[in-house]
């Protein structure tokens, strides 16, 4: 009898601990994402007239120095890079609520965003903390999985410190902290298919057309591996997006050597950022003169 009472007590304690965690635990990683959003939105909202947003995951954060762009270009630009773990749907929603007629948006998406869920692991955790009504976007199975996965990630989270500009970009990311275990090719699906995330992208395109927003799409700076050149998925993806969107370049021209990588296959250092930013500036100068 005592054993049963103890078991019931432990189960009750565990239940209340889970409830307390769900409603009260502040994930430091999500707080950082929230802070990034606030910096970017604050800068975007003080712009009068047309603006340009560069939208994507953390690869955008590292890749595009919008301070340098704003010294060279007519249209003020904001780096709207956040985190790939939010999913494409979340990233496009964030962009949409900050766009006005006459604006321009450049979408630069890590390749996994095209085939993973539109609302992914970190969007669950963001909604748990800040917007619980949107948790209905997830199935019960997804809620349980993401709850447990985020719990594990929260225990091991370490905040990286970088210089964040007013316009939302990481700068002065010098050298390399690229671990050997990360020096492997990305694992792509065998073939490109139109996923739920692709449908979100198509709806975003429709929204931009209806609201006179100039939409362009480009590709992430990515550590080069020879396997990528003949990768069926990448070739089929480019065939699709180049038909549906105005593209800036193609995947192959944004493959970079390890000397330009900071700490992941998608995160460039200051050298990679300089080259990629200057490449985009050159392209946009021509566009602004037309």
Delimit the domains of the chain by residue range.
Answer: 27-289
Task: Give the pLDDT confidence score for residue 169 in this predicted structure.
Answer: 98
What is the second-level CATH architecture of the domain 27-289? 3-Layer(aba) Sandwich (3.40)
Decide: 63 and 271 in contact? Cβ < 8 Å.
no
The distance of Cα 248 from the centroid of its chain, to the nearest Å, equals 18
Percent of the chain with pLDDT over 90: 82
Task: Give the pLDDT confidence score for residue 67 in this predicted structure.
Answer: 98
User: Distance (Å, rounded) from C-alpha 74 to C-alpha 47?
Assistant: 12
User: Distance (Å, rounded) from C-alpha 200 to C-alpha 205?
Assistant: 9
CA distances from 52 to 33, 126, 190, 216, 254 (A): 21, 25, 34, 11, 21
Decide: 138 and 131 in contact? Cβ < 8 Å.
no
Task: Give the pLDDT confidence score for residue 149 in this predicted structure.
Answer: 87
Decide: 91 and 113 in contact? Cβ < 8 Å.
yes
Task: Give the pLDDT confidence score for residue 15 in this predicted structure.
Answer: 45
User: Distance (Å, rounded) from C-alpha 241 to C-alpha 247?
Assistant: 7
CA angle in degrees (0–180, nearest 5) for 265-87-23: 115
- Residue-wise pLDDT for 40-53, tens only, equals 999 999 999 999 99
Low-confidence residues in the chain, pLDDT < 50? 9-10, 13-17, 20
Q: What is the 3-state secondary structure (H, E, C) of 114-172?
A: HHCCCCCHHHHHHHHHHCHHHHHHCCHHHHHHHHHHHHHHHHHCCCCCCEECCCCCEEC
């Amino acid at each position: 009898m005592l054993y049963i009472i103890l078991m019931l007590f432990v189960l009750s304690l565990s239940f209340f601990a889970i409830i307390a965690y769900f409603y009260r635990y502040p994930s430091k990683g999500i707080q950082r994402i929230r802070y990034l959003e606030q910096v970017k939105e604050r800068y975007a909202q003080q712009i009068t007239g047309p603006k340009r947003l560069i939208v994507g995951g953390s690869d955008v954060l590292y890749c595009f120095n919008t301070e340098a762009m704003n010294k060279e270009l007519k249209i003020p630009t904001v780096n709207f890079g956040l985190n790939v773990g939010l999913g494409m749907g979340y990233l496009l929603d964030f962009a949409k609520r900050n766009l006005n007629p006459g604006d321009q948006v450049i979408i630069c998406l890590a390749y996994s965003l095209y085939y993973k869920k539109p609302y992914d692991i970190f969007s669950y955790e963001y909604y748990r903390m800040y917007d619980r009504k949107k948790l209905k976007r997830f199935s019960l199975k997804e809620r349980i999985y993401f709850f447990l996965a985020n719990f594990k990630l929260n225990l091991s989270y370490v905040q990286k410190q970088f210089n964040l500009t007013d316009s939302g970009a990481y700068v002065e990311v010098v050298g390399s902290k690229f671990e050997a275990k990360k020096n492997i090719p990305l694992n792509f699906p065998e073939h490109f298919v139109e996923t739920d995330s692709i449908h979100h992208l198509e709806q975003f395109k429709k929204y931009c057309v209806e609201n006179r927003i100039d939409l362009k799409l480009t590709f992430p700076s990515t550590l080069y591996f020879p396997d990528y050149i003949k990768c069926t998925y990448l070739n089929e993806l480019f065939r699709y997006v180049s038909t549906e969107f105005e593209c800036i370049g193609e995947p192959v021209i944004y493959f970079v050597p390890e000397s330009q990588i900071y700490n992941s296959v998608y995160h460039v250092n200051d050298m990679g950022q300089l080259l990629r930013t200057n490449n985009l500036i050159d392209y946009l100068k021509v566009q602004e003169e037309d």
